[in-house]
């Protein structure tokens, strides 16, 4: 939760009061140095940006409980609001002094990724799930223009993206799309990273990229086709008209998986849960019906471009 822990420590020392703060799953997020939970305790619930927490302290200090609750909630509200406004201002091209960035988003210089998350409903609940999952991490999420925007330090960003998508899907039963940027290190890179995520979300959806996860460092061919001259794409459609008309979903899935597995027959067969010979039979069928032997790199790349043009036109 960023510098909220520093604030709690400073608060505990300033008012000379030992206390503990735990999340809704009873995980401790802060504890004063001299706190002893074995003593007779009292507690009170607090709300920090739609997330529930509990403050615990000795019963003899019960009179301080409500004031402590108000102080922490008020500080966090101001902290969260200022961070959110800093981010929105940067996204909208407004300059923010470096000292405010250092105070509000201190982890930005460590190498952050921007995640753009699109879901069709339950957006507030989804943001709550993300905030709960990254309580003590250098991660910050807001709702911006109908999507969830997350900025954070992720050591293995793809693993986190997959985990977030699975968590939202399992808990909310929502269709979830996530686009994520390369690492950024400066406030001036934030807007571009967001716009990259936005265009990748558009392109990824349009070309029905597998897994509904779009990396700004991938989608090379999809971007190429998206920005290709319209007339040339129409020419390709006419030249290869009907090439996919007789393909069922099984065959389309086979050729996509084979291409995504870098033309590796053994890996693709495992991904498809079929025997290696079955895959070879299907590849032979694709060659017979299209004229492309996608086991050969050059033909596979040419075929992939034709496939993307077809998918865009669907």
- Matching fold, domains 105-218 and 228-313: no
CA distance 92 to 95: 9
B/e letters for 41-60, b = 16+ CB within 10 Å, e = fewer, are eeeeebebbebebebbbbee
For residues 181 and 102, is the Cβ–Cβ distance under 8 A?
A: no
Confidence (pLDDT) at 50: 67
How does pLDDT run across 203-262, given as a tens digit for each residue?
A: 999 988 878 999 988 888 889 888 888 888 888 888 887 777 777 788 888 888 998 899
- DSSP reduced 3-state for 42: strand
CB neighbour class for 293 (10 Å; exposed up to 12, middle 13-18, buried from 19): middle
For residues 96 and 86, is the Cβ–Cβ distance under 8 A?
A: yes
Please name the residue ranges forming H helices in the chain.
4-15, 65-91, 98-104, 123-133, 157-172, 190-206, 220-226, 230-239, 249-260, 265-272, 276-290, 297-313
How does pLDDT run across 210-225, given as a tens digit for each residue?
A: 789 999 888 888 898 8
Confidence (pLDDT) at 154: 94
For domain 228-313, the CATH class is mainly alpha
DSSP, res 188: G
For residues 199 and 211, is the Cβ–Cβ distance under 8 A?
A: no
For residues 229 and 237, is the Cβ–Cβ distance under 8 A?
A: no
Contacts with 255 (C-beta within 8 Å, 6 or more apart), sequence order: 282, 286, 294, 303, 307
Distance of CA 273 to the CA centre of its chain: 28
Task: Give mean pLDDT in consecutive 10-residue pieces for the chain, a chain of 314 residues.
Answer: 75 92 87 85 85 90 92 82 86 86 83 96 92 84 95 94 95 94 93 96 90 88 89 85 77 88 93 93 88 91 88 80
Q: Where are the domains of the chain?
A: 4-78, 105-218, 228-313
For domain 105-218, the CATH class is alpha beta
Considering the entire predicted model, what is its pTM?
0.72
CA distance 314 to 309: 9
């Amino acid at each position: 939760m960023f510098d909220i822990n520093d604030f709690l420590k400073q608060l505990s020392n300033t008012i000379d009061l030992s206390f503990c703060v735990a999340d809704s799953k009873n995980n401790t997020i802060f504890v004063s140095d001299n706190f002893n939970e074995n003593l007779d305790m009292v507690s009170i619930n607090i709300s920090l940006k739609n997330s529930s927490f509990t403050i615990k302290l000795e019963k003899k200090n019960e009179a301080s409980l409500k004031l402590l609750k108000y102080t922490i909630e008020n500080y966090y509200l101001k902290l969260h609001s200022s961070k959110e406004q800093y981010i929105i201002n940067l996204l909208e091209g407004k300059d923010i002094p470096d000292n405010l960035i250092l105070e509000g988003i201190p982890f930005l210089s460590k190498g952050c990724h921007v995640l753009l998350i699109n879901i069709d409903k339950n957006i507030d609940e989804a943001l709550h799930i993300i905030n709960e999952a990254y309580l003590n991490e250098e991660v910050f999420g807001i709702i911006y223009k109908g999507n969830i925007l997350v900025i954070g330090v992720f050591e293995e960003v793809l693993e986190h993206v997959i985990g977030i998508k699975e968590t939202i899907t399992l808990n909310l039963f929502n269709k979830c799309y996530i686009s994520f940027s390369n690492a950024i290190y400066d406030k001036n890179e934030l807007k571009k990273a967001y716009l990259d995520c936005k265009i990748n979300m558009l392109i990824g959806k349009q070309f029905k990229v597998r897994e509904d996860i779009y990396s700004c460092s991938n989608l090379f061919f999809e971007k190429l086709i998206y920005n290709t001259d319209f007339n040339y794409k129409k020419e390709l459609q006419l030249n290869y008209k009907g090439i996919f008309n007789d393909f069922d979903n099984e065959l389309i899935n086979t050729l996509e998986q084979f291409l995504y597995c870098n033309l590796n027959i053994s890996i693709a067969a495992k991904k498809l849960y079929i025997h290696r010979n079955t895959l070879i039979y299907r590849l032979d069928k694709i060659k017979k019906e299209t004229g492309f032997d996608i086991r050969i790199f050059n033909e596979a790349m040419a075929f992939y471009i034709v496939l993307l043009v077809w998918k865009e036109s669907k």
